[in-house]
Amino acid sequence: MADKIISERNLKFLLNEVFDAPSLLKFPRYSHHSPEVLDMVIDTAMKMGKDLLVPCFEEMDKNPPRFEAGAVKVHPSVKRLMKECGDGGWISAVASLEVGGQQLPFTVGLIPTFIFSAANYSASNYPGLNMGAAHLIESFGSQEQKDTYIPLLFSGAWQGTMALTEPQAGSSVGDITTTATLTDKGYYQIRGQKIFISAADHDCVENVVNLMLARIEGAPPGLKGISLFIVPKKRFGQGGALIPNDLTVMGIYHKMGYRGCPITQLSLGDNGDCRGWLVGEPNRGLSYMLQMMNEARLVVGMNAAAIASAAYYISLQYTKERPQGRPITSKDPSIPQIPIIEHADIKRMLLFQRAVIEGSLGLLFQCTVLTDLMLATEGEEREKYSLLLDLLTPVAKTYPAEMAIHSVSQALQCLGGYGYCDEFPIEQHYRDTRIHPIHEGTTGIQSLTLLGRNIVMKNGKAFILFLAEVDAAIAQAESRPELAHQALELKKAVERLKEVVGHLVGIATKGEIDLFLADATLFMEFFGVIAVAWQWLLQALAVQSALKKGASVSDEGFYTGKMYAFRFFFAYELPKIDGMARSLLSGDGLTLSMKPEFFDD
């Protein structure tokens, strides 16, 4: 593992110089924090990441969870991790003061997520799941539920989970069949099966509390009949002792990566005594879960960018140290070899990684800032932030998730044969990051959400707001000679985007919904590149502002490198939209008319 896993300088650049995160602290909701909190969070999380998470990163992969005698055993360091994340207040960071949280802006609260997952992605999930589960209870649970469960999740004594998927209901969550039958005691009897549930059993916590979707008997079919339940592994019996809740772990899945965290299969109510407690109102479970899913999607984007960052720093260190070959114009074999970072093709691979990672982070922090602004404002302003956040969330999940695969692959390529061997943990990052286009909604599902729902919702209001944001950045950049070229390129890209959206919406208006959505995934890719180009322009604007004010000598390298990564994105990534636009504008329903039997021969 390289000593460095993320750039603290870049984090501070994004937070302070691009997004002015300290200004969030002026809102009453966050005003109990001082501006020092940002640096403090970064410093403490870095220390914990390096001291606690990095040392067991490879170990947790090589010694994945075991399923023995009906129970799951995980790496022992998870116990200390949960305790320290509890004691350090990491799990409760963004929760409200009312429930014992610290009510930090989401923007600040996600910094540890980024750092921890760069340090050890699998490990970072255990406390991360608690944040999500506690937040659901905080938002929709009863006072008793809050009092009972939230402190146990915040302290790390218990593990939280999200339990949605069933064997027959993955992407099609409306098809879940786990049932909940109301008893006269007020709780429900739960019966069914859940699969792919992260961390739903392990030996480093006292208990597990599953936030589970199930269908109350007699509920309407599909998405409208799903309710949310608290289904703990052990429940409180008489006198407050924990007793089994008839929840059986059937097994764990063996995965290519993300091996440090167990993914379990659960059977509920085999003996007719698995109790669940309804959260909020009946049949509203999906809308509740969507809140958690939206945050989870940003977390996934963060995880992907983090893994790519860790891999990038391994490749950076390696390419600086590995001598191989000579300058292309001086092949004299008697002179010493040069470090491979001197080769243009290696610099291309390194700049590509920066373009992806730093561009992704820009988009992600853009979304966390929108979340914070939404929570801190009212009325029309709030609606604006909310719409923009809705529009961008699937993109902020998908762009990093998909592009981190390419980014880590280029990191691996920088190491040649060594990258393919486990002497360096890049191959682990390569395996780990492949999960991200799958979980928390596949790329296909995110793309249908973006095009089929978000672009067109409220007559395109979110999309129009987005265009205004991009236009504002372009307007600012146009007048700066260093950025005018890229501002113009982005302007053309936006014209292309409007053309494509107009074309596709035209198809939808004619009622050809199948055709409208057939290339949704390609549209996602297209939109993602343009959204990240916008973020890169915002970053370049911040660099120019800093340089105008006069940067310190130590910062000059950083700003120069940043401008190179910015130029790289515009020179090598943005042009990719040309071909995508061509495909999107000429789509003739090829994939619709293709029949399954034509795949046979």
Least distance between a copy of itself and beta carbon 329 (Å): 5
Q: What is the CA radius of gyration of the chain?
A: 25
Separation between Cα atoms, residue 251 and residue 247, nearest integer Å: 12
Question: Among residues 158 and 570, whose Cβ is nearest to a copy of itself?
Answer: 570
What is the pattern of x (binds a copy of itself, CB under 8 A) and - over residues 547-566? ----------xx-xx--x--
The residues near 221 (Cβ < 8 Å, ≥ 6 apart) are: 174
Q: Is 58 a catalytic residue?
A: no
Question: Among residues 197 and 375, whose Cβ is nearest to a copy of itself?
Answer: 197
Torsion region of 251: left, alpha or beta (phi above 0 gives left; psi -120 to 50 gives alpha): left
Question: Among residues 206 and 217, whose Cβ is nearest to a copy of itself?
Answer: 217
Q: 350, 375, 462, 538: which one contacts a copy of itself (CB under 8 A)?
A: 350
Q: 185, 331, 548, 549: which one contacts a copy of itself (CB under 8 A)?
A: 331
Provide the 10 A C-beta neighbour count for residue 513. 11
Site for a copy of itself in 49-88 (CB under 8 A): none
Site for a copy of itself in 437-496 (CB under 8 A): 437-439, 442-444, 447-448
Separation between Cα atoms, residue 466 and residue 462, nearest integer Å: 6
521 binding a copy of itself? (CB under 8 A): yes
Least distance between a copy of itself and beta carbon 140 (Å): 23
Separation between Cα atoms, residue 371 and residue 366, nearest integer Å: 9
Asked whether 213 and 178 are in contact (CB, 8 A), the reply is yes
Site for a copy of itself in 204-223 (CB under 8 A): 221-223
Question: Among residues 52 and 195, whose Cβ is nearest to a copy of itself?
Answer: 195
Q: 31, 177, 324, 509: which one contacts a copy of itself (CB under 8 A)?
A: 324
Q: Which of 440, 489, 525, 573 is catalytic?
A: 440
What is the pattern of x (binds a copy of itself, CB under 8 A) and - over residues 230-269? -----------------------xxxxxx----x------
Question: Among residues 83 and 326, whose Cβ is nearest to a copy of itself?
Answer: 326
Asked whether 75 and 63 are in contact (CB, 8 A), the reply is yes
504 binding a copy of itself? (CB under 8 A): no
**CA nearest 123: which of 136, 112, 132, 134?**
112
Separation between Cα atoms, residue 426 and residue 207, nearest integer Å: 34
Least distance between a copy of itself and beta carbon 356 (Å): 15
Query: Kind and range of the H or E element at 192?
Result: strand 188-198
Site for a copy of itself in 387-406 (CB under 8 A): 405
Q: 420, 469, 482, 547: which one contacts a copy of itself (CB under 8 A)?
A: 420
DSSP 279-326: ESSTT-HHHHHHHHHHHHHHHHHHHHHHHHHHHHHHHHHHHHH-B---
Q: 102, 145, 159, 165: which one contacts a copy of itself (CB under 8 A)?
A: 165
Asked whether 372 and 107 are in contact (CB, 8 A), the reply is yes
- Catalogue the active-site residues: 440
